[in-house]
């Protein structure tokens, strides 16, 4: 082929269709074929069978099922099964999955000693990342090279089972309250709510609206194709690093305010507006300022060009929760006014600055009583099946170790001078 008048000979790539598609490394040495893309931002050089996302049309599907149908008809555990194993479970498979998970919801008591050592005011994401990393020391079978499918599955089940326990422990610690251990008679999400909001002596008074909202929130966050955290999990896993350490790396990637930390940033922004007197009009005008526009957190999305399909579903759950719990919180009033302005103001409409999933999820978490520092941890709880599936798929594809091509732009041939 000719590129800029230069003839370049392409090598013949052999193998199955799949091998051809992933063997991009064979094209690496061709001059003129390198895309400078710091952080693999938009090269789209990966493929996956997990999540389909059309940013123009606002479509999101897991394994071919629309997010709207899954959020309406399925539990989070069913969706987790779908994402990890590829198909929705039959009732028998779901019961078996739930029973397997129930066997592993406790965490090692020694791990609790380790957890006790964190300062109670430390950021929940710092605690979460290091606790998940430490699973590889308490459950060292994950380190076994070439695990059989059963061994790998047990590693996966243990992680899915222990994450809700770990998240609720982190929450209880932030309050200085005693920890509550799992009750395996409950389903996955109710068990999490029990450990988080229940009392030691009585059964958790399950509010079906809260359980349903939590299921939806977790489903909507369960995967979002190869973004910052998912790609991190794949690239760390591509060195054959164990599942727990790979997921801990994904948790670190999620922590930042440009990714999972955005829902916390939304509430921090609403607090700021409240402290300033709560004049939303003033802050809307600040966002429109030509010289130095104020960044409205939770508005617009890098991939979705028209609307975030998750936001529509979550907005409804948000309205239900606020009404059901009869919450009277000035922050939530401010949020409602900003939402209304964004949906009706021509400036916001023209720039497609509609509220996204992070805007509403923060409001629901707040209404349920979670402090904003816990929000990203809850995002991680939802995203876990996605990360596991990304790690598993990368191995099933036998993808090579991640190794970005670097274009050196530093000094060349410097003379060494003794000082």
Q: Which residues are catalytic, by number?
A: 301, 358
Specify which residues 184 forms β-bridges with: none
- 62, β-bridge pairs: 51, 65
Token pair in block for residue 33 = 């074929």
CA distance 371 to 284: 25
Under 8 Å between Cβ of 131 and 108: no
Cα distances (angstroms) measured from residue 123 to each of 118, 180, 249, 261: 10, 20, 16, 12
Site string for ligand MLT, 244-263 (x = CB under 6 A): ---------------x----
Q: Does 41 bind ligand MLT (CB under 6 A)?
A: no
Q: What's the maximum distance between 2 C-alpha atoms anywhere in the chain?
A: 78
CB of 226 to ligand MLT, least distance (A): 9
Question: Of the candidates 74, 155, 165, 227, which one interacts with ligand MLT according to CB under 6 A?
Answer: 227
Binding residue (CB under 6 A) for ligand MLT from 144, 302, 352, 403: 302
Q: Which is nearer to ligand MLT, 149 or 258 (CB)?
A: 258
What count of Cα atoms within 13 Å lies in the side-chain half-sphere of residue 48? 30
216 binds ligand MLT (CB under 6 A): no
CA distance 400 to 414: 35
Asked whether 384 and 156 are in contact (CB, 8 A), the reply is no
Residues 326-385 that bind ligand MLT (CB under 6 A): none
Cα-to-chain-centroid distance, residue 241: 20
Q: Is 286 helix (H, G, I), strand (E, B) or coil?
A: helix
Q: Is 234 in the site for ligand MLT (CB under 6 A)?
A: no
* Closer residue to ligand MLT (CB): 88 or 228: 228
Q: Structure tokens of 417?
A: 């001078």
Of 30 and 303, which has the nearer Cβ to ligand MLT?
303
Q: Which tokens hold the place of 10?
A: 């392409």
Minimum CB distance to ligand MLT, residue 251 (Å): 13
Residue 303 CB, nearest approach to ligand MLT (Å): 6
Of 165 and 227, CB closest to ligand MLT:
227
Look at residues 136, 133, 149 and name the one whose alpha carbon lies nearest to residue 392: 149
Please list, in sequence order, all residues whose beta carbon lies within 8 angstroms of the beta carbon of residue 397, skipping any fewer than 6 positions away. 18, 22
Work out how close the CB of 90 gets to ligand MLT at its nearest, in angstroms, rounded to a whole number: 29
Q: 3-state DSSP call for residue 31?
A: coil
Question: Which of 173, 224, 366, 392: binder of ligand MLT (CB under 6 A)?
Answer: 224
Report which of 225, 212, 222, 213 is spatially closest to residue 361, judged by C-alpha positions: 213
What is the C-alpha to C-alpha distance for residues 274 and 79, in angstroms, rounded to an integer? 38
Q: Considering beta carbons, is residue 253 or 394 the nearer one to ligand MLT?
A: 253
Q: Distance between CA 166 and CA 381 in Å, rounded?
A: 10
Nearer to ligand MLT, 216 or 224 (CB): 224
- CB of residue 27 vs ligand MLT: minimum separation in angstroms? 26
By CB under 6 A, tell whether 20 contacts ligand MLT: no
Is residue 264 part of the contact set for ligand MLT (CB under 6 A)? no
Cβ nearer to ligand MLT, comparing 54 with 95: 54
Distance in Å, CB of 24 to ligand MLT, minimum: 22
Least distance to ligand MLT from the beta carbon of 257, Å? 12
Q: How many residues bind ligand MLT, per CB under 6 A?
A: 5
Distances (CA, A) of 273 to 42, 279, 288, 331, 359: 34, 7, 16, 9, 15
**107 versus 311: smaller Cβ distance to ligand MLT:** 311
Per-residue binding string, ligand MLT, 42-81, x by CB under 6 A, is ----------------------------------------
* Residues in touch with ligand MLT (CB under 6 A): 224, 227, 259, 302-303
């Amino acid at each position: 082929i000719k590129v800029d008048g230069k003839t370049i000979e392409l090598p013949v790539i052999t193998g199955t269709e799949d091998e051809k598609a992933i063997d991009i490394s064979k094209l690496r040495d061709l001059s003129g074929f390198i895309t400078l893309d710091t952080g693999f931002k938009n090269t789209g050089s990966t493929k996956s069978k997990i999540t389909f996302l059309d940013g123009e049309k606002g479509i999101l599907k897991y394994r071919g099922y629309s997010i709207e149908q899954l959020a309406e008809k399925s539990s989070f555990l069913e969706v987790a099964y779908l994402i990890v194993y590829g198909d929705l479970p039959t009732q028998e498979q779901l019961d078996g999955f739930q029973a397997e998970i129930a066997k592993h919801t406790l965490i090692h008591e020694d791990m609790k000693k380790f957890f006790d050592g964190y300062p109670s005011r430390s950021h929940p994401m710092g605690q979460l990342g290091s606790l998940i990393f430490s699973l590889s020391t308490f459950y060292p079978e994950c380190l076994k090279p070439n695990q059989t499918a059963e061994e790998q599955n047990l590693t996966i089940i243990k992680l899915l089972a222990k994450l809700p326990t770990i998240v609720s422990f982190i929450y209880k610690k932030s309050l200085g309250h005693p920890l509550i251990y799992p009750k395996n008679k409950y389903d996955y999400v109710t068990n999490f709510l029990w450990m988080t909001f229940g009392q030691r002596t009585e059964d958790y008074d399950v509010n079906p609206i809260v359980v349903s909202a939590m299921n939806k929130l977790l489903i909507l966050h369960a995967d979002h194709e190869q973004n910052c955290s998912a790609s991190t999990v794949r690239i760390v896993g591509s060195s054959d690093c164990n599942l727990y350490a790979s997921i801990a790396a994904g948790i670190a990637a999620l922590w930042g305010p440009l990714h999972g930390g955005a829902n916390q940033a939304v509430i921090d922004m609403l607090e700021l507006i409240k402290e300033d007197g709560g004049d939303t009009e003033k802050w809307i005008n600040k966002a429109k300022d030509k010289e130095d526009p104020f960044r409205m957190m939770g508005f617009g999305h890098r991939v979705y060009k028209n609307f975030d399909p998750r936001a529509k579903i979550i907005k409804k759950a948000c309205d239900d929760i606020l009404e059901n719990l009869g919450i009277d919180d000035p922050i939530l009033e401010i949020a409602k006014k900003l939402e209304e302005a964004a949906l009706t103001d021509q400036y916001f409409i023209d720039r497609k600055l509609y509220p996204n999933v992070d805007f509403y999820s923060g409001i629901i978490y707040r209404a349920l009583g979670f402090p904003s520092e816990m929000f990203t941890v809850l995002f991680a709880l939802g995203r876990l099946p996605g990360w596991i599936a990304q790690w598993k798929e990368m191995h099933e594809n036998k993808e090579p170790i991640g190794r970005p091509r670097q274009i050196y732009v530093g000094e060349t041939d410097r003379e060494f001078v003794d000082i």
